[in-house]
Amino acid sequence: MTSHPHPEATVPQRLRILLISSEVEPFAKTGGLADVAGALPKALAGLGHDVRVLMPKYRGVERHAGSLAPRVPGVQVPIAGRIAEGTLLEGRMGAGIPIYFLAQDQYYDREGLYGTGEGDYWDNCERFIFFCRAALEGLKRLGWIPQVIHANDWQAGLVPVYLETLYRDDPGLAKIATLFTVHNLAYQGVFWHYDMAMTGLGWDLFTPAGIEYYGKLNFLKGGLVFGDLLTTVSRTYAREIQTPEFGCGLEGVLQERSAALHGVVNGIDYEAWNPASDGEIPKGYTADDLKGKRACKAALQEELGLAQEPAPLVGMVTRLVEQKGLTLVLDALPGLLAEGVQLALLGSGEPALEQAFGDAAAKHAGRVAVRLGYDAGLARRIYGGADCFLMPSRYEPCGLGQLISLRYGTIPLVRWTGGLADTVKEFDPAKQAGTGFGFAPFTHEALLECARRALAVFRQPRLWQRLMRNAMAEDFSWEASAREYVSLYRKAVKAAAR
């Protein structure tokens, strides 16, 4: 009877991992999910794992994928009283990683990923039911079965549900463990209850303990209820989303799954973001030789029409939306200017915020510079040229701006929430330890008080240089995060084997 080895001994060193994501950089992107799905597989492959990726074949992916070879034709899924058929095509992403594109042109060969400017596609429920179920049907015939599926966000939320129900006894798929990651809790994939029939799942799942949510069908909830392990993109956000303030109505589900829920912070690409080799900044620099950063600051002041003086230059590169705490910046501005600060902001978003920052720039010419729009080059020159980087977010699942600014020795001033709280450490002048400055209350007074602490250090150039070096010595490359995912994959595989 006990001839099987103990499950703990059965998790091999080299894991087979399938990452399922509805967007992957560079093929298709609407948000941070695509960055993660593009970068994490490379880091996992770098650690020696057999990682592959699966996404829909949207219009235009060939531009980045090159020639695609049909791998599994005739993938059939019963849906809405008929059979929908797709094909798994195989291509390669960076580092030679196999990527499978699920082709079904009626669903995915469209102008947008989820909709157009007019709104979401009316059949998104059907499109992503097909995505989840066809991924598993295709996998059965691929000749390669992963030990763990890493499913992401609502679009892949039904994958763990199907594995635990319709495919529970499937000889090929039954043993696959799942890790489900939420990148943005605000997007849940909620559809009316009539769509339940299309899923092929029994109505017994349409309960508060299953995938029902206030009378509707909720894909994200499916992933959260049925995933073996759950993650989100920082430890603090993982705690925060279990509270009504941050839980978007799913806090109860997340509390129930608390033991399975982990936070793994996103990384950034340390080659793409490197002040020593960044072609967009006027002069390169390193932690050992910071002279170039002064040249970057002077050039940025000139580019933006800011007074050429040794004033502390605070940068911001951000979507102009409520989440980012921009009203605090507007309210704190007179106080910041009284402290001698210069502000350089690049962003686009809500018209009222664009207007307010435009007005501030007009009123304080030479002290406040605002550029509206998306500009990757200017963003880099701000990361390179500013002294501080301000992110007073109301909430922040992970945040990339503070990671980039640490890499560039541009000291983050942040609100202690989500990933900001996990990646920035308050500088202690006595110990000369820490990498930035933060504040907790969501008020402009707290922001101002935080800025004053930073400025007190800024006025001591040697201490400030020490702080810059501390920031630049941090490691938020993908490798460290990939190792955390691997240890969670192993844990999920062990749990699923029991």
Question: Per rule CB under 6 A, is residue 347 in the interface with ligand ADP?
Answer: yes
Quickly list H helices, 277-375: 291-304, 326-338, 351-363
Under the binding rule (CB under 6 A), the answer on residue 138 touching ligand ADP is no
Q: Where are the alpha helices (DSSP H) in 317-417?
A: 326-338, 351-363, 376-385, 401-407
Cis peptide before 26 (omega within 30 of 0): yes
What 3-state class would DSSP assign to 309? Answer: coil
**How many angstroms separate the most distant Cα atoms in the chain?**
81
Token pair listed for 108: 């995915």
Q: What is the DSSP letter of 241?
A: T
Whose Cβ is closer to ligand ADP: residue 197's or residue 272's? Answer: 272
Q: Is 379 in the site for ligand ADP (CB under 6 A)?
A: yes
Angle between helix 351-363 and 326-338 (nearest 10) = 10
* Residue (170 or 269) nearer to ligand ADP, CB: 269
Which tokens hold the place of 483? 């190792």
Q: Which of the stretches 189-197, 331-339, 375-383, 487-495 binds ligand ADP when contact is defined by CB under 6 A? A: 375-383
265 neighbors 423 (Cβ within 8 angstroms): yes
Contact 157, 222 (CB under 8 A): yes
- The least CB distance from residue 469 to ligand ADP, in Å, is 23
Contacting range for ligand ADP; rule: CB under 6 A; set: 69-77, 217-225, 314-322, 467-475: 314-322
The count of chain residues that interact with ligand ADP, using the rule CB under 6 A, is 16
- Stretch near ligand ADP under the rule CB under 6 A, chosen from 2-10, 125-133, 191-199, 317-325: 317-325
Closer CB to ligand ADP, 51 or 403, in the complex: 403
> Is 346 one of the binding residues for ligand ADP (CB under 6 A)?
yes
Residue with Cβ nearer ligand ADP (89 or 420): 420
* Smaller CB separation from ligand ADP, 225 or 388: 388
Quick one: which of 433, 429, 416 has its CA closest to 459?
A: 429
Question: Residues 343, 349, 353, 357: is their CA dihedral positive or negative?
Answer: positive
Per CB under 6 A, which region of 44-52, 56-64, 88-96, 372-380 contacts ligand ADP?
372-380
Which is closer to ligand ADP, CB of 225 or CB of 421? 421
Question: H or E segment at 158?
Answer: helix 158-164
User: Coil, helix or strand for 363?
Assistant: helix
Interaction of residue 351 with ligand ADP, rule CB under 6 A: no
Calculate the alpha carbon distances from 157 to 66, 227, 230, 271 in Å. Answer: 29, 9, 11, 32
Cβ proximity to ligand ADP: between 31 and 202 the closer is: 31
Judged by CB under 6 A, the stretch of 15-23, 89-97, 116-124, 397-405 that binds ligand ADP is 397-405
Out of 318, 342, 423, 435, the residue judged to bind ligand ADP by CB under 6 A:
318
Our CB check for ligand ADP shows the closer of 301 and 318 to be 318
Q: Tell me which amino acid residue 437 is.
A: F
Query: Which residues make Cβ contacts (< 8 Å) with residue 451, sequence separation at least 6?
Result: 314, 332, 335, 336, 339, 341, 388, 413, 437
Q: Is 436 in the site for ligand ADP (CB under 6 A)?
A: no
Q: What share of the chain is helix, strand, coil (3-state, %, to 5)?
A: 40, 20, 35
405 binds ligand ADP (CB under 6 A): no
As a whole number of angstroms, the distance between CA 153 and CA 220 comes to 6
Q: Which amino acid is at 9?
A: A
Q: Which one of 38-46, 109-117, 162-170, 344-352 is the stretch in contact with ligand ADP (CB under 6 A)?
A: 344-352
Binding residue (CB under 6 A) for ligand ADP from 375, 426, 449, 474: 375
**Using the rule CB under 6 A, which residue among 86, 223, 275, 401 binds ligand ADP?**
401
**Least distance to ligand ADP from the beta carbon of 397, Å?**
8
* Residue 348 makes contact with ligand ADP by CB under 6 A: yes
CB-wise, 173 or 406, nearer to ligand ADP?
Answer: 406
Rounded-to-integer distance, Cα 447 and Cα 390, Å: 10
Confirm if 48 and 14 have CB atoms less than 8 A apart: yes
User: 């915020």: which residue's tokens?
Assistant: 353
Q: Write each residue from 17 to 56 as x if it is in contact with ligand ADP (CB under 6 A), else as -, in one continuous string.
A: ---------------x------------------------
Using an 8 Å Cβ cutoff, are 494 and 229 in contact? no
Among 136, 176, 400, 482, binds ligand ADP (CB under 6 A): 400
In the list 319, 453, 469, 483, the residue contacting ligand ADP (rule: CB under 6 A) is 319
φ, ψ at 311 (rounded to 5°): -60, 150
Query: Nearer to ligand ADP by C-beta: 77 or 233?
Result: 233
State which residue, 449 or 474, has the beta carbon closest to ligand ADP: 474
**Taking CA 165 as the corner, what is the angle to CA 125 and CA 3, rounded to the nearest 5 degrees?**
145
Give yes or no for residue 1 binding ligand ADP (CB under 6 A). Answer: no
Q: Is 374 in the site for ligand ADP (CB under 6 A)?
A: yes
Report if residue 399 touches ligand ADP, rule: CB under 6 A: yes
Residues at the interface with ligand ADP (CB under 6 A):
32, 317-319, 346-348, 374-376, 379, 398-401, 404
